[in-house]
Amino acid sequence: MGRKLLTEHVNVEGIETFEVYRKHGGYRAVEKALKTMTPDEVVDEVKKSGLRGRGGAGFPTGLKWSFLAKPEGVPRYLVCNADESEPGTFKDRYLMSKLPHLLIEGMIAGSYALGARTSYIYIRGELLYVLRILEKAIAEAYAAGFLGENILGSGYSLDLHVHPGAGAYICGEETALLESLEGKRGNPRNKPPFPAVQGLYARPTVVNNVESIASVVPILNEGGDEYAKLGVGKSTGTKLFSACGHLNKPGIYELELGVPVEEFIYSDEYCGGIWKGRELKAVVAGGSSVPILPKELILKTAAGENRLMTYESLSDGGFVTGTMLGSGGFIAMDETTCIVKNTWNFSRFYHHESCGQCSPCREGTGWLEKVLHRLEHGHGSMHDIDLVVSVAKQIEGNTICPLGEAAAWPVAAAVRHFRDEFEWHVKHPREATQPGAVYQGAGVLA
Amino acid sequence: MAKITFDGIEVEVPDGTTILNAARKIGGGVVPPAMCYYTPLKGSGGKCRACLVRVAAGSAKDPRPMPKLVASCITPVQDGMVVENTTSQQVLDVRKGIVEMLLINHPLDCPVCDQAGECDLQNFAFEHGVSTTRYEEERRTFEKIDIGPYVQLHMTRCILCYRCVYTADQLTDGRVHGVLGRGDASEIGTYIDKVIDNDFSGNVIDVCPVGALTDKTFRFKQRVWFTKPMNAHRECSHEKCNGHVTLWYKGKDVMRVTARKDEYGEVKEWICNECRFDKKETADWVLEGPAHVDRSSVISQGHYELPVVNPQIIADLPESTIRDLQQNPPLKLGGLNG
């Protein structure tokens, strides 16, 4: 097993308390940053590390930090996006509930680098128990002098608040999150202006994923250059993957980026293969909004190379034969999975979670769901298969925020790679609607 | 100042102007349609996606094209920007798709809708849409709701442009009008039973691009194309209202009163409820002359004519009205009812 930077001490008894965390090398990064480094040096270190955003988009974190507008006399904010609600992704919940102080330490270092005096953790409303863990940990950090006025005598002061959302997926979009944090309805904002210029309370703001912020801690401890040596190419460091679905050993795995997908699924060190001795059928590699790939394409790229767990390798071949690393929600499906039903299920989720602000997404997600419902329940026609692709195309790229794309990509990809299965549902509605019936390959159609 | 090329036409506008407003400076057929953007309402725009355009070159400094289509109503111009609207097939195709999306949950019963004839969605669909629909499922429907004594809300027709929300928010004190629910279940709410009762609530009727918010004192009294719009004014006692309105005549009766709108359907001066709902006699008003109606509008089919007025009033007419009269040859001297 490769190196673990984030979850090294996760199984230590009492690691969620300040005392034990400190004993295992906790808050070293904050001490190092506040005592020996200027804020710009911290930003440079993160830039050198090549850390890419762990929330899904994969934008380089250091670059994002350097874009922050810094007008004189105006407060700036660092906001942690802990509104993890993507189906299939549960890595942040794990990280926060097991290692709350790691996030807090990252928040202090990040806030120091950005010059923020008040920072927020916006946590998903359903994770009430994690909220309590974080609040307890924050109280401990205040008591130990790592938060509040004049931290470690450095003259730098920081207040950290946790704010729960109310259960809307859309509030994970950074501008909707800021609206929600301001106490408004969580509708995504029009961009520009971007949060780096006008974010929370119209002040310059950086919004980062939990894992991105937590990764700042090992980057400062090890040094950016050392961190960049891990991984492959532009995918540096380690990343948490939440493996779920039909696997022998689903769970959270911290991988050095670059592990082959085949090894990740089948090696006993990781997921241990597909459960009940069945065959792998398809994989959604980065949370429900990234394109689904069939077994042949997830294990090997179209060019026949081994696919690796990196940003570049997973997106090799674009959307024609590739997918995205996304947020690391790795959903494996065995041969008994009905792709049509699964696509309808994802579509139902996005229909339910569309905020309703812009017309392509508001109307299109509902339309997709209805047509897919029809196909799944044996009332569809061949024309409907083309219709969902066309509707998905009308949504994609024409919306205010990425939820439109998140709703459109899985549908388009499912039809692209599993069209025969959709056609089987149309041609054999009676068989397809039997409980447990699954398309068994070309033989049935013939 | 920034110089941009819009559909091959060069135009120079002040920095910070949006692409849409730059196009409106050119005017005519190149102007992108706008279903949610409303110049007087701060924060409006970006929602309906009807005004999407392609930016073929971002600016003189960075001439790369923008990766996605952008909403022209909220995107500011950059010097050297090249924008394609009617010259881009991609934009036209996407716009067709937007029409389709807006119409899937909107009833297609224009003949019985009170807004027909002055409906932005009707015009938009006529100009940019296709004549068939691919949507077979049930449409979402709502009960009609009375909000206050003058306004009726029929959510079934609403396209969620948020204009009325911004109007209620920015024009009146105390917000009682917002959006409830999410996705295609969202609806315009009036906070449980709190109705809008303030002096400017009637303006939400004028800003509504469709027949979702209608004037209860006018509903189904008359088709709009049978009425003749007249500009008029009165001394209004309300401090924020200057009493400049359009009266809609049928015969000698004032059927309704609205604020004056410009060629893009935007209200320039808000009017109070007293002017709108209570002053429906010709004697209450000083007539200025026929309101200009675009020749392409169905309302202009009535060929209303210039009323017989004394020369002193003609001398007092605002310059814009005189210009309108000169530019519209069908106007000729005659009786009020022509």
Substitution target from A344, A359, A368 for chain B, most B beta carbons within 10 A: A359
Domain boundary among B151, B180, B215: B215
Chain A residue with the nearest C-alpha to that of B134: A387
Using CB atoms, pick whichever of A354, A360, A394 lies closest to residue B183: A354
Question: H or E segment at A20?
Answer: helix A18-23
User: Which range, B62-66, B238-242, B326-330, is most confident?
Assistant: B62-66
The domain spanning residue A286 has which CATH number? 3.10.20.600
- Separation between Cα atoms, residue A223 and residue A46, nearest integer Å: 9
**Tens of pLDDT, residues B251-274:** 889 999 999 998 888 998 999 999
Using CB atoms, pick whichever of A190, A371, A394 lies closest to residue B101: A394
The pLDDT assigned to A129 comes to 96
pLDDT band at B294 (very low <50, low <70, confident <90, very high): confident
Residue A360 domain-assigned (yes or no): yes
Q: Which residues of B touch A353 (CB under 8 A)?
A: 182-183
Does pLDDT of A165 surpass 70? Answer: yes
Question: H or E segment at A207?
Answer: strand A205-209
Does pLDDT of A130 surpass 60? Answer: yes
Q: Which of A77-86, A420-429, B140-149 has the lowest mean pLDDT?
A: B140-149
Same domain, B123 and B196: yes
The domain spanning residue B57 has which CATH number? 3.10.20.740
Does pLDDT of B85 surpass 70? Answer: yes
Structure tokens at A38: 């200027």
Domain boundary among B165, B185, B215: B215
Same domain, B18 and B43: yes
The pLDDT assigned to A442 comes to 57
The domain spanning residue A203 has which CATH number? 3.40.50.11540
Does pLDDT of A28 surpass 80? Answer: yes
Residue A11 domain-assigned (yes or no): no
Please answer yes or no on whether B46 and A168 come within 8 Å at the CB atom: no
Residue B336 domain-assigned (yes or no): no
Asked if A355 contacts A187 with a C-beta cutoff of 8 angstroms, the reply is yes
- Separation between Cα atoms, residue B62 and residue B80, nearest integer Å: 9
Mean pLDDT value across residues A183-198: 92
- Separation between Cα atoms, residue A101 and residue A95, nearest integer Å: 10
Mean pLDDT value across residues A104-115: 97
Same domain, A159 and A174: yes
Asked if B150 contacts B273 with a C-beta cutoff of 8 angstroms, the reply is yes
Q: Which residues of B touch A371 (CB under 8 A)?
A: 137
Task: Give how many domains chain A has, as a whole number.
Answer: 3
Of B255, B266, B260, B265, the C-alpha closest to B289 is B260
Please answer yes or no on whether A358 and B75 come within 8 Å at the CB atom: no
What is the distance between the terminal CA atoms of chain A, rounded to a whole angstrom? 46
Q: Is B225 helix (H, G, I), strand (E, B) or coil?
A: helix
Same domain, A187 and A270: no
> Which domain, by its residues, includes A418?
339-438
**Tens of pLDDT, residues A60-69:** 999 999 999 9
Kind of pairing between the strands at A238-245 and A329-334? parallel
Residue B333 domain-assigned (yes or no): no
Same domain, A429 and A314: no
Does pLDDT of A443 surpass 90? Answer: no
Please tell me if residue A364 touches chain B, with a CB cutoff of 8 Å. yes
Please answer yes or no on whether A399 and B184 come within 8 Å at the CB atom: no
**Tens of pLDDT, residues B200-220:** 889 999 999 999 999 999 999
Residue B275 domain-assigned (yes or no): yes
Residue B284 domain-assigned (yes or no): yes
Residue type, position A115, single letter: G
pLDDT band at B308 (very low <50, low <70, confident <90, very high): very low
Same domain, A188 and A329: no
The pLDDT assigned to B323 comes to 77
Q: Is A212 helix (H, G, I), strand (E, B) or coil?
A: helix
Using CB atoms, pick whichever of A362, A370, A399 lies closest to residue B183: A362
Asked if B152 contacts B211 with a C-beta cutoff of 8 angstroms, the reply is no
The pLDDT assigned to B307 comes to 47
Same domain, A38 and A143: yes
Asked if A189 contacts B43 with a C-beta cutoff of 8 angstroms, the reply is no
Residue B293 domain-assigned (yes or no): yes
Please answer yes or no on whether A354 and B185 come within 8 Å at the CB atom: no
pLDDT band at A2 (very low <50, low <70, confident <90, very high): confident
**Residue A54 Cα, gap to closest chain B Cα (Å):** 23
Using CB atoms, pick whichever of A185, A363, A390 lies closest to residue B104: A363
CB-count burial class (<10 Å; 0-12, 13-18, 19+) for B169: middle
Torsion-angle region of B261 (φ positive above 0: left; ψ -120 to 50: alpha; else: beta): beta
Does pLDDT of B314 surpass 80? Answer: no
The dihedral built from the CA positions of residue A374, A387, A403 and B155, taken in this order, carries a sign that is negative
Same domain, B109 and B211: yes
pLDDT band at B149 (very low <50, low <70, confident <90, very high): confident
The pLDDT assigned to B303 comes to 53
Of A178, A181, A240, the C-alpha closest to A213 is A240
Strands (E) in A115-197, as ranges, are 118-123, 159-164
Please answer yes or no on whether A363 and B105 come within 8 Å at the CB atom: yes
- Separation between Cα atoms, residue A366 and residue B230, nearest integer Å: 44
Does pLDDT of A360 surpass 90? Answer: yes
The pLDDT assigned to B310 comes to 52
Does pLDDT of A159 surpass 70? Answer: yes
**Residue B22 Cα, gap to closest chain A Cα (Å):** 18
How many Cβ pairs closer than 8 A exist between chain A and B?
A: 91
pLDDT band at A217 (very low <50, low <70, confident <90, very high): very high
Mean pLDDT value across residues A177-182: 96
The pLDDT assigned to B338 comes to 35
Does pLDDT of B300 surpass 90? Answer: no
Mean pLDDT value across residues A352-365: 94
> Which domain, by its residues, includes B113?
105-131+140-215
- Separation between Cα atoms, residue A311 and residue B117, nearest integer Å: 53
**Tens of pLDDT, residues A33-87:** 999 999 999 999 999 999 999 998 899 999 999 999 999 899 999 999 999 999 9
Q: Which long-range contacts (CB under 8 A, 24 or more apart) does B179-182 make?
A: B179/A185, B179/A356, B181/A356, B182/A168, B182/A170, B182/A352, B182/A353, B182/A354, B182/A355, B182/A356
What is the distance between the terminal CA atoms of chain B, rounded to a whole angstrom? 48
Please answer yes or no on whether B71 and A190 come within 8 Å at the CB atom: yes
Please answer yes or no on whether A354 and B182 come within 8 Å at the CB atom: yes
Please answer yes or no on whether A394 and B97 come within 8 Å at the CB atom: yes
pTM (2 d.p.): 0.91
pLDDT band at A382 (very low <50, low <70, confident <90, very high): very high
pLDDT band at A191 (very low <50, low <70, confident <90, very high): confident
Q: Which residues of B touch A363 (CB under 8 A)?
A: 101-102, 104-105, 184
pLDDT band at A378 (very low <50, low <70, confident <90, very high): very high
Domain boundary among A190, A210, A229: A229
Q: Which residues of A touch B94 (CB under 8 A)?
A: 394, 398
| Phi, psi angles (nearest 5°) of residue B31 | -70, 125
Task: Give how many domains chain B has, as a whole number.
Answer: 3
Mean pLDDT value across residues A332-359: 95
**Tens of pLDDT, residues A85-101:** 999 999 999 999 999 99
Same domain, A259 and A380: no
Please answer yes or no on whether B137 and A370 come within 8 Å at the CB atom: yes
**Residue A189 Cα, gap to closest chain B Cα (Å):** 9
**Residue A72 Cα, gap to closest chain B Cα (Å):** 23
Average pLDDT of chain B to the nearest whole number: 87
Same domain, A221 and A257: no
Domain boundary among B215, B237, B263: B215
Using CB atoms, pick whichever of B49, B74, B134 lies closest to residue A359: B49
| Phi, psi angles (nearest 5°) of residue B253 | -95, 140
Chain A residue with the nearest C-alpha to that of B183: A356
Average pLDDT of chain A to the nearest whole number: 94
Of A57, A129, A98, the C-alpha closest to A327 is A57
Does pLDDT of B336 surpass 50? Answer: no
Task: Give B298's contacts (C-beta < 8 A, 6+ positions apart).
Answer: B117, B224, B225
Please answer yes or no on whether B74 and A190 come within 8 Å at the CB atom: yes
Q: Which residues of A touch B182 (CB under 8 A)?
A: 168, 170, 352-356
The pLDDT assigned to B326 comes to 67
Using CB atoms, pick whichever of B101, B179, B181 lies closest to residue A360: B101
pLDDT band at B328 (very low <50, low <70, confident <90, very high): low
Same domain, B211 and B307: no
Please answer yes or no on whether B49 and A399 come within 8 Å at the CB atom: yes
Same domain, A408 and A317: no
Kind of pairing between the strands at A205-209 and A77-82? parallel
pLDDT band at B332 (very low <50, low <70, confident <90, very high): very low
Chain B residue with the nearest C-alpha to that of A404: B183
